[in-house]
Structure 1
């Protein structure tokens, strides 16, 4: 192992060596000593002087200090905004580069951890498209570079005389392509189109630099982020190539944009300017890519693009903002001593359409009674966003917000409900939402007008209800008159309906303009209104023509539309304009809704009183299984610990890290061994989602530096589930040699209580070094809701949350909003070792600080339930008499293959077996088992077999490694004959007949048979009873553990072992010999100062903490900030088995942001601690840097 300070020492030697060579070189005049750089020193001095110069000038000219403070605040805000933006970009690029690893580490168990394409079945992952984009991205960058340099730059230079020297000095769109996170296809719309929601994410390392040489001005962009959901519509679908007539794309909601500026544009990151600049940029994007604006690309000729670019809306939603209740009180008096009320108003927004209600003074239960009408362009997708504020003279206080999906309104026709406000302590808003369909005829127009007349709107600020909408598509004009002086005009159009006027964009210097703009108007009564059109020059003074169209003319037109040329008045004789006008009647379909608001209220009240009798969990509830990982041993690992400066290779201290489904397991460290035996077991609950992998990594434990990598491997969970049981050696990747022996079992679940006894019986026969006990069952709990919970001490409704405890596992539900009937609808699971002993405890509380009742459910009660499922209301203890909780508890027995009495799937068991005559030193080649092989054991091979204890089998005979084989040992009664001939594909080891003759006085035995289920049955010394438990245990691999001497009277081999079960257990002699080591970390003195100040010119202090390692168990103290004589006063405990040579390792580190600095270490022999029983003393730290000292 390398010294952590060796790097510094080497660099020092190199530096000194370089200096020596320079001094001795004949032509060393041109070289400079590496330790001194005059330019950098002068530059640092100049920066310091420049920073102090404004302060000096302010004092010299007696400028107010407030200017300096203001400038410092602006600089601090700019720096903070700048660093935050760079950090976001770095984080996004890091996630972009490691997305696959991040996803594989977090896809498991809970739906909230799944990506959108897994969580929502209709959102699909399109990795193939991302691969295509990655391949073509460099060519996209080349095209955009040509576009900027050859087209956009000349256009900018010609637009202003000040920008005639503008050039793009660098255009690089990087190597990070735009990614499509997921695609959702909508099939509920008409058949003539394809509707797609494309979730895009662009984290680009783009770099674009611009320079205006005339003003010595440089600016640019270095990094862009863009995230959002873009809707893509493929329509119309035609019966000819290319099948799709046009592609229309737009954002339903504004995307998230983040730009990292450089150069002069860095000023845009100043607080205040950054918001304004981001808003201006987003407004520019929204003007052509956010609803109601669309980007349409025609794919065929002679296509009427106007209808695609500006289609008719999907419908109209009439919003009745009625009232609010229990809003927070924000107005306080006498500095908060007296609580006041609020002056609430509501802000309603659908896309770009925003409405503000009037202010109701001094109340927390305002009644607005206002009505608004909004045009809905896309459903599903658009939402009604509501925000409530308290009106104040300075800044309005936020009272809460909520969102309502307008797709629900379209399906329900009418929604009349209270909506709870989010991001606030209390409050709700009452809305009545009506979906109005667009009728292309006038059959129901009179009914609509009569119904609108009967509607009364209490607020004066609300407009009267509309009977129809008018959509106007302004296409183009021809032969407009010239301006004064015979100049071409720059025409624009003003369209007016009553007192509402809209303006088109301006077409510059032309008499044949093309606007291609769309407008929409609400019409209260089509019989009485008309649309007035004024064509004017861009100065809005000179009129180029006018037109007035009565809407009654549309009522008599086919399909209520006029799509034609209109002659302009007050213009030239040939002046005309092309307009498409469409009128649609707004109709509320009342056939599928209650006839009156009273009936609707009664129906809602009646439904609220009906409580469900059973839960309704997701179909995926209780479908998980258990992956059981048995880490057996390693072989031929890479040595990492070098001695004598690397001249002599040592061994390694290997340990294993296993990761799957977000769970990480770490084995104990085996010191100085290249063929370690761990014999540890881990369990993890997983879903059967595709793409999951088991990651196994080996490391060499080092005390003073980063642990050395010793290899890795990956195993697909799909392969494990398919095989159900795998027992094999896996070769390590990324290293020269090494392999690991794993037993992987996918344990499915069953609802058969009769399997429990077999599972528990097998469980009692298994033991592992990490003290793990195999689980016998899985308990799934679905927390649905509660009812009639007690009120808080203050009299308010509680914020209920539930805590579920089983054994050492605890889960918490979300905290619901204030209600005594909360709904959680969350699922949890527990690994259960013994269902007959475990108890599930559910504790309810308000915001985790006030108890509201509990429930104690013994798991054994589920064993008597049908299908092991309990799904009902249960009463709570410690609450009101009516308090109940609705939950579903479902028990699943783990159906391991080991419990089956039939044969187990064949496999191979191979691995190095170690001769354990008191040590773990000698090794033998692996044995592979499949084909029947009969072997006899010579008489001179000293094998001792007791009559009533576990049979000891010699581990010395070694068979070369064939593909698969099954070994059956037959013990002769008398006159043992020579070994029988083995099958042709196996070859006995040459030492088979010699080892026992060399050391006959030391019988070599193996006393433990570890249970596996991957081989054919190994025939034991006695003939087992059919269907007995020993038949299951016989399928085992031989484990290399220390042997136990057998009494001499047991040397004689009996003909047949009695088929009786032993009356008592025969544990290992070391069973129950463990003890507890209690470690008190009190304080330290005179530690090394590792933190440097002022670039190392001044010594600082350290932030020390302690690491303790003993027998693979690690402890870590808390960090003491800036202290060389820290006091921790912490206590740690661990259970240990006394072993020779075991030591307690204590290390001190200085906590840093990047890498912690080493402060020293010392070792304490465990045998000294045990002999003294109690030790209280100071220990001097070893290996301390900088030749300093320290004590602990």
Structure 2
């Protein structure tokens, strides 16, 4: 941890005075012990040493050798010191392991402002274990691909075969570990891992003996959640485990050969991402029971925290994608494996969808809302128009839930989104308020309640053409439908699967359950359950109740729970933002001893520009005032960043200046860079006004150079870009990178350099907080 390194350095500086102690924790313990020592203890210690000297003097007076008493004194002092040192070392280590932030601040008066107490630890010991296990893990995955995965693919593509699978020598990396200790039930342990893989794997595959492609340079960045539950008082102490991704992982890889053809490449990528989403992204998860005494429902049922209601209102200033100079835009929104799609607005660059949708949320802090905008094309693949990622816990804060967002990866365009956080209530009286809101909004696509279903088992299903069926279940409420997994060749399927479905009106809606054979699409039985019947049940739920199926002799066992959706003010728990709160508190404690600098904030990966009052599209938009936040900086940072200037320059720079925003999203493992504008570019010849653009290059130690560039602004010495770029970089590797921003002017077929900014990221602390800054352009030192 950062503070431990500081304490070690502090100890080295004072080694001339305190040479007998080692490590940061020993330093703290020593300072404490010195304060506790009183004059009486000093006198006693001196008397002991004097007594030893007198004994030695008497021995010498009796004409004995002087060497013996001196040797005796040194020996006794040595053993006494050694015993005390060992005791202090054990004691100090024990105390240091239990020190909190407040304890350290009381003991050490001069902690610098860059010290943070993050809620995620690097856990390098875990990476060491994974590194040693990697050869065995890769062999197991290879075997899995050649058996189960290859067999499944062969059912759809006859003759498919993995020719070569090599996962290389680079193992996945755990870059951050967090164990939750607040707002967690006593019978469970929740752990989040920041998983990052940038390996040298190679996968060759063929069809009917002809090699059609190769996958290489596979990259994955994801947040993996592991839930251990329930905790037991007998072995194995943990009843089971749940493993899933909170959000869709960031996946990137290269395709070569026939598979690299644009249409086929898109299809393969889509299928790989779809398979991962269906298996591992919430609400899908992998579960394993360790004890037969644990009910499957405890592991596989869903436990949502609430529902996020999203209003996709409008967009503006979109790109032209059609030959007519217009676009046919629509938006796809996802939270984990949940996906919603707006209608298509024909031939409009400023569409107004007024579309509402809802998402079931497990963890508002860990999960994100992704949106992508496309232009519908009837003949070709739909054109991409921009995207964005929004942290849910930020979007549902009071005053932050109605915003305009810039479209990332697009030349221009903005989208207007509104958010509502809905908690879950077991009080039936809250239903009338929810129904009244729906009637006032006059929106058919929103709900008043959430129905949680646990699909257990079915029994005595009929055979289909004298064969055992392959049954799956469809669960339908109003127009919302979900499907279960398919069970192979059985009349007594055991699904053990949980679902959550939004209910528009539980007083009139029903749950329609149908069991269908996959091969013949024959309906094996069905059940209609009136949701209002749950009002008569204790706590509006039933557990493992058996129902007879209509048009069948079979039975089905299910559990149901109904919860009313109600407006709830979301407040982020302290455990979810430990690093932010700790950093702020330390900054306050050191505000007198440290100089501060102010930076203007931006949003996360998407910039907020405008805000519009809800449900009044005709009213003019009001710009949001950017807030100023104070960031503590070390004096070394100020000296190393001499090129950083304030937003108002007293002296006009020779080559101009550039406004940049930097932000690092730890959950997404991405460095986000926004190029805002350039000002005061030199104009040497009025007849040759520059056409500037910015070329970005991220250089890491021993890694590939990542490049991007902005659009070209014609004939302008003060261009405005407002373009955002993202780079996949692990948290531990971030300080080893430097960012090179080169301003160039493009004329005809030639380009020439006008200036450059080089930013060493190891000089920055706290990039988890976004900020804006002006940088002065200098002469080029790095090639672009």
Global fold match (TM > 0.5): yes
Q: Quick one: which of 612, 616, 638 aligns to 2:629?
A: 616
Compute the displacement of 1:131 (Å): 1.3
Matched, 1:476 2:457: yes
Q: 1:318 is matched with which residue?
A: 309
Picking from 278, 283, 302, the partner of 2:269 is 278
Structure 2 residue matching 1:139: 3-state secondary structure: helix
CA contact (8 A) 1:324 1:427 kept: yes
Structure 1: gaps (5+ residues): 1-116, 334-339, 458-462, 627-684, 686-777, 787-801, 817-824, 827-842, 852-1192
Of residues 676, 679, 682 in structure 2, which corresponds to 1:845? 679
8 Å contact 1:805–1:811 — kept in the other structure?
A: no
Higher relative contact order, structure no. (Cα contacts within 8 Å, ≥ 6 residues apart):
2
TM-score by length of 2: 0.56
CA shift for structure 1 position 433? 1.0
1:560 Cα offset (Å): 1.8
Judge conservation of contact 1:544–1:570 (CA < 8 Å) in 2.
Answer: no
1:563 aligns to what?
543
Residue 867 of structure 1 corresponds to none
Going from structure 1 to structure 2, the CA distance change for 1:441 and 1:540 (only over 3 Å counts) comes to: farther
Q: Gaps (5+ residues) in structure 2?
A: 1-113, 572-611, 663-671, 690-784
Alignment partner, residue 578 of structure 1: 557
Does the CA-based 8 Å contact 2:302-2:500 persist in structure 1?
no
- Distance change >3 Å, CA 589–CA 258, structure 1 → 2: closer
Is the contact between residue 247 and residue 297 of structure 1 (CA under 8 Å) also seen in structure 2?
A: yes
Q: Which residue of 1 aligns with 2:194?
A: 199
Q: Which residue of 2 aligns with 1:489?
A: 469
Seen in structure 2, the aligned counterparts of structure 1 residues 228 and 330 have a Cα distance that, compared at 3 Å, is closer
CA distance in 2, matches of 1:160, 1:363: 40
- Aligned residue for 1:516, secondary structure, equals strand
SS at structure 2 position matched to 1:553: helix
Find the partner of 2:249 among 255, 258, 267. Answer: 255
Alignment of 1:683-762 (within 5 A): 685=640
Give the direction of change, closer, same or farther, for the CA distance of 1:448–1:148 in structure 2 (3 Å limit): closer
1:368 paired to 2:349: no
Structure 2 SS opposite 1:443: helix
Change (3 A) 1:296 1:225: same
Distance 1:456 1:196, change over 3 A: same
| Cα shift at 1:469 | 1.7
Query: SS in structure 1 opposite 2:632?
Result: coil
String of CA shifts for 1:926-946, please: whole Å, max 9, x gaps: xxxxxxxxxxxxxxxxxxxxx
**What SS class does the counterpart of residue 629 from structure 2 fall into?**
coil
Q: Secondary structure at the match of 1:448?
A: helix
CA shift in 2, pair 1:366/1:257, >3 Å? closer
Tell me the distance in 2 between the aligned counterparts of 1:617 and 1:191: 37
Match of 1:297 among 285, 288, 291: 288
**How far is 1:332 from its partner?**
7.5
Shift of residue 291 of structure 1?
A: 2.4
Distance 1:572 1:208, change over 3 A: same
Aligned to 2:492: 512
Residue number in structure 2 paired with 1:814: 660
**Alpha-carbon deviation of 1:803?**
11
In 2 relative to 1, CA 145–316 (structure 1 residues): closer, same or farther, beyond 3 Å? closer
Answer yes or no: is the 8 Å Cα contact 2:302–2:499 preserved in 1: no
Rounded Cα–Cα distance in structure 2 between residues aligned with 1:535 and 1:489: 10
1:228 to 221, 232, 237: 221
Q: Confirm whether residue 175 of structure 1 aligns to residue 159 of structure 2.
A: no
Displacement of 1:314 in angstroms is 2.4
Is the Cα–Cα contact under 8 Å of residues 287 and 299 in structure 2 kept in the other structure?
yes
User: For 1:535-577, what per-residue CA distance to the aligned partner results, in whole angstroms no more than 9, with x for missing partners?
Assistant: 233345544332221101112212222222323234665x321
Shift of the alpha carbon at 1:294? 0.8
Q: Please give the alpha-carbon distance, in whole angstroms, between the structure 2 residues aligned to 1:153 and 1:389.
A: 32
1:465 to 1:234, Cα distance in 2 relative to 1, 3 A: closer
The alignment yields a C-alpha RMSD, in angstroms, of 4.8
Alignment CA distance shift 1:191-1:583 (3 Å): closer
**Cα 1:390/1:803, change in 2 over 3 Å:** farther
- Match of 1:275, SS state, is helix
Question: By percentage of residues, which structure has more helix?
Answer: 2
Larger C-alpha radius of gyration, 1 or 2? 1
| 1:190-225 deviations in Å (ceiling 9; x for gaps) | 25444433232334455677899xx65678967562
SS state at 1:465 partner: coil
Q: Matches of residues 960-1109 of structure 1 in structure 2 within 5 Å?
A: none
Aligned equivalent of 1:532 = 512
Distance apart, 1:186 and its partner CA: 4.9
CA distance in 2, matches of 1:167, 1:428: 45
State the distance in 1 between where 2:304 and 2:389 align.
21
Within 5 A, what are the aligned runs for 1:314-353?
Answer: 314-328=305-319, 344-353=329-338
Aligned partner of 1:441 among 392, 413, 427? 427
Q: CA deviation at 1:290?
A: 1.8
Equivalent position SS for 1:444: helix
Q: Secondary structure at the match of 2:231?
A: coil
Q: CA deviation at 1:365?
A: 4.0
Q: Distance in 1 between matches of 2:516 and 2:552?
A: 14
Contact 2:657–2:679, Cα closer than 8 Å, also in 1: no
Contact 2:655 2:682 in 1 (8 A): no
The count of residues paired between Structure 1 and Structure 2 equals: 517
**Aligned twin of 2:231:** 238
Answering whether residue 187 of structure 2 is matched by residue 190 of structure 1, we say no
Contact 2:278–2:337 (CA under 8 A) maintained in structure 1: no
CA distances 1:683-712 after superposition (whole Å, capped 9, x unpaired): xx3xxxxxxxxxxxxxxxxxxxxxxxxxxx
Summarize deviations over 1:491-519 as a string: whole Å, max 9, x none: 22232223444333322221111223333
- Listed one character per residue, the Cα deviations across residues 124-152 of structure 1 (whole Å, up to 9, x for unaligned) are 32222121112222333454566677x65
